[in-house]
Amino acid sequence: MASLTPQVSTQLAPATAPGRGGRPRRPRVWRGVVLVLAAVYFLVPLIASFVFTVKAPDQGFSLDAYGQIFSAEGFGGSLLLSLGLGVATIVLVLLLTLPAAVAVRLGAPGLRPVLEVVCTLPLVVPPITFVAGISTVLRWGPDYLASTPLYQTIIAVQNPDFPVVLVLAYVVLALPFAYRSLDAGLGAIDVRTLSEAARNLGASWPHVLLRVIIPNMRSAMASASFLTLALVLGEFTIARLLSFQTFPNWIYRISGSQAQVSVAVSVFSLLITWLLLLALSSAGARQRSGS
Amino acid sequence: MRDSRTRSKSRWAALPLLVFVVIVFGVPMLVLLGGTFTKEGTLSTANLTESLQGAYLTALAGSVKLSALVAVLGGVLGTFLAQAVVTSRFRALREAVLTASGVLANFGGVPLAFAWIATLGNSGVVTTTLGLGAHGWSLYNFWGLTLVYLYFSIPLQVLTVVPALDGLRPQWREAAQNNGASTWQFWRYVGIPVLTPALLGGVVLLFGGAFSAYATAQAMVGSTVPLVTLKIADALTGNVLIGHENVALALSLDMIVVAGLVMAVYLPLQRRSARWLR
């Protein structure tokens, strides 16, 4: 699966100031070779995928595959399901991580190592092993819990129309990214001074959080949300092994019958990720130039 | 007095997160551990033994081999690309490569497999244009997977080492040159030692990414290449003898142990590199 990675800012380049000139010409040659090879390796599959989707056996060129995406059976339903799961995951992950990140900054630095560990675990444990555990819990649950109210809960979280169990699993997967971007965002503002000033003026803690901290954290929260959304829209392992028809699972399913359409959707979904991440990096750039 | 009250109060704010992780992450992991050591209701290591034998062992070894190859190749190639970008005079090139790396490092899963199938698969555009099929080309094997995994691994390595390369101060190079060091000596005695933690850290990340990848492999090769993730998925979806369901759990535990060992290398390294590269 696509492991989401933290973004390196494209703007931090103080070390590469000019004035490194005066070096021999030789490095330029290998640099050119490396860049050309990289360009070939990374661009050819993108171009070839596009060519593959517009190549029609007899007419030569046609955009039919892209048109067929929208009329393909199951497209709307699975995309809506994935978007819904994405929104629910974002809300839950922000509700859980933001108070924790603020608490670590303000009053409980002792908790930082605990949170660091909690947010590293999902990176160490491969998603497929996580889903092996989850599916066993879901399988065993009914046997052991049949007489307790937990039984109903286990059935309810597996509702195929809106599988809450996926939201729970995705929150765990998204934790590391969400926590890191929120923690970085908190590091960029002076939380202590802001919150003490607000407290001295008589604001309650919820008020401080909602009216002082969150407005200052908008771009960090946006970046946490974008990363989470990209993760949910691309996640395949857990959804497939628990048999829920999310968007990536749908792409996989139609590939058997409509190869061109499935490649078209792949190109399309790459474009969506691209736009999401571009929005993310430009939001980050705006914040940096503003501060 | 007031301070300590705030402190104890703010600890509560982290409680929901911790409780959530204990339930949603901790319980499945405990069940995984419990299931690994249970066979037909009794405590036993039979599952674990079975998971380290025959086809399962081959799959585990195949995954480790593939991930190690991808990690080393991706690490080296990614570092060269990063160095080419960092030393370039063109700001736009640097930003374009870093943005593209951010996108491509996240480009995995099913769409990645399909993009490559459309390119170099049996009826892929490049395969048919160059007539590679006649020369026995096939994407659906170990080397094909390596080629495809590098597509998200190299960008990930670029993202990991660019900050480290930026941290190599020009003064260090100048100091070395003033003392008469050649380019080779600069890299051998200054550059590489300072970069080693970041480079190895990147390699570890690449290993982890390739090791846990499932979607790409499933969409590309099905089960023709033995990989542990594919075996686990097979066993979980019931493709296993009755009474052996828990082998999937034992295999998962094997994976976690391997991934955990590799990550254990990474964390101290990261701390060491952070000391130099501020």
Judge contact between B119 and B126, C-beta under 8 A.
yes
Q: Give the closest residue to A171 by CA, choosing from A106, A114, A238.
A: A238
Report how far residue B146's alpha carbon sits from residue B124's, in angstroms, rounded to the nearest whole number: 18
pLDDT at A188 exceeding the cut of 80:
yes
What ipTM, to 2 d.p.?
0.84
Cβ of A168 within 8 Å of Cβ of B248? The answer is: no
Cβ of B99 within 8 Å of Cβ of A265? The answer is: no
Report how far residue A264's alpha carbon sits from residue B111's, in angstroms, rounded to the nearest whole number: 9
Residue of A137 and A276 predicted with greater confidence = A137
Question: What residues are paired with B38 via a beta bridge?
Answer: B43
Query: Which residue of chain A comes nearest to B160, CA vs CA?
Result: A8
Digit-by-digit pLDDT tens for chain B (278 residues) are 444 555 556 677 888 899 999 999 999 999 899 888 887 777 888 888 888 888 889 999 999 999 999 999 999 999 999 988 888 778 888 888 888 888 888 777 888 888 898 888 888 888 888 877 778 788 888 998 999 999 999 999 998 888 888 888 888 888 888 898 888 888 888 888 888 888 888 898 899 889 989 988 988 887 788 899 998 988 888 777 666 778 889 999 999 999 988 888 777 776 666 666 55
Question: What is the residue extent of each domain of chain B?
Answer: 58-276
3-state secondary structure of A57: coil
Q: What are phi and psi for residue B43, nearest 5 degrees?
A: -70, 130
- Compute the C-alpha angle A214/A275/A285, nearest 5°: 50
Cβ of B106 within 8 Å of Cβ of A277? The answer is: yes
Cβ of A115 within 8 Å of Cβ of B16? The answer is: no
Cβ of A34 within 8 Å of Cβ of B94? The answer is: no
Question: What is chain B's Cα-based Rg?
Answer: 23
For residue B59 the two structure tokens come to 């799959």
Report how far residue B67's alpha carbon sits from residue A157's, in angstroms, rounded to the nearest whole number: 35
Report how far residue A54's alpha carbon sits from residue A64's, in angstroms, rounded to the nearest whole number: 7
Share of chain A above pLDDT 70, in %: 85
Name the most confidently modeled range: A56-65, A129-138, A251-260, B231-240: A129-138
A118, A128, A252 member nearest B233 (Cβ)? A128
How far from the centroid of its chain's Cα atoms is residue B113's Cα? 17
A85 membership: H or E segment, kind and range: helix A75-106
B42 membership: H or E segment, kind and range: strand B42-43
- A172 to chain B nearest CA, in Å? 7
- The tens digit of pLDDT for each residue in A194-234 reads 888 988 998 888 888 888 888 888 888 888 888 888 889 88
- Which pLDDT belongs to residue B275? 63
- A99 to chain B nearest CA, in Å? 5
- Compute the C-alpha angle B225/B227/B232, nearest 5°: 130
- Which pLDDT belongs to residue B38? 83
Report how far residue B2's alpha carbon sits from residue B17's, in angstroms, rounded to the nearest whole number: 25
- Which pLDDT belongs to residue B77? 93
Q: Which residue has the tokens 């954290």?
A: A217
- A187 to chain B nearest CA, in Å? 16
Neighbours of A159 (CB within 10 A): 11
Report how far residue B266's alpha carbon sits from residue A48's, in angstroms, rounded to the nearest whole number: 37
- Which pLDDT belongs to residue A14? 43
Neighbours of A141 (CB within 10 A): 20
Question: What residues are paired with B42 via a beta bridge?
Answer: B39
Residue numbers in A near B100 (CB within 8 A): 42
Report how far residue A120's alpha carbon sits from residue A176's, in angstroms, rounded to the nearest whole number: 6
Q: Give the closest residue to B24 by CA, choosing from A1, A164, A221.
A: A164
For residue B47 the two structure tokens come to 């599952």
Report how far residue A46's alpha carbon sits from residue B154's, in angstroms, rounded to the nearest whole number: 16
Q: What is the DSSP letter of A201?
A: T
In chain A, how long is the greatest CA-to-CA distance? 79
Cβ of A132 within 8 Å of Cβ of B32? The answer is: yes
- Global confidence as pTM: 0.84
Report how far residue B15's alpha carbon sits from residue B5's, in angstroms, rounded to the nearest whole number: 16
Query: Which residue of chain A comes nearest to B115, CA vs CA?
Result: A49
Q: At what angle do helices A26-54 and A64-71 cross, to 10 degrees?
A: 60
Report how far residue B160's alpha carbon sits from residue B156's, in angstroms, rounded to the nearest whole number: 6
Residue numbers in B near A7 (CB within 8 A): 102, 159
Note the CATH number of domain B58-276.
1.10.3720.10
- Kindly indicate the confidence band of residue A12, based on its pLDDT and cuts at 50, 70 and 90: very low
Report how far residue A273's alpha carbon sits from residue A46's, in angstroms, rounded to the nearest whole number: 14
Q: Which residue has the tokens 């001074």?
A: A193
pLDDT at A289 exceeding the cut of 50:
yes
- Which pLDDT belongs to residue A67? 80
Report how far residue B175's alpha carbon sits from residue B173's, in angstroms, rounded to the nearest whole number: 5
- Which pLDDT belongs to residue A287? 56
Residue numbers in A near B108 (CB within 8 A): 1-3, 234
- A181 to chain B nearest CA, in Å? 15
Cβ of B102 within 8 Å of Cβ of A5? The answer is: yes
- Which pLDDT belongs to residue B155? 92
3-state secondary structure of A169: helix
Per residue, the 3-state secondary structure of B49-65, as one string, reads: HHHCCHHHHHHHHHHHH
Structural class in CATH, domain A83-246: mainly alpha
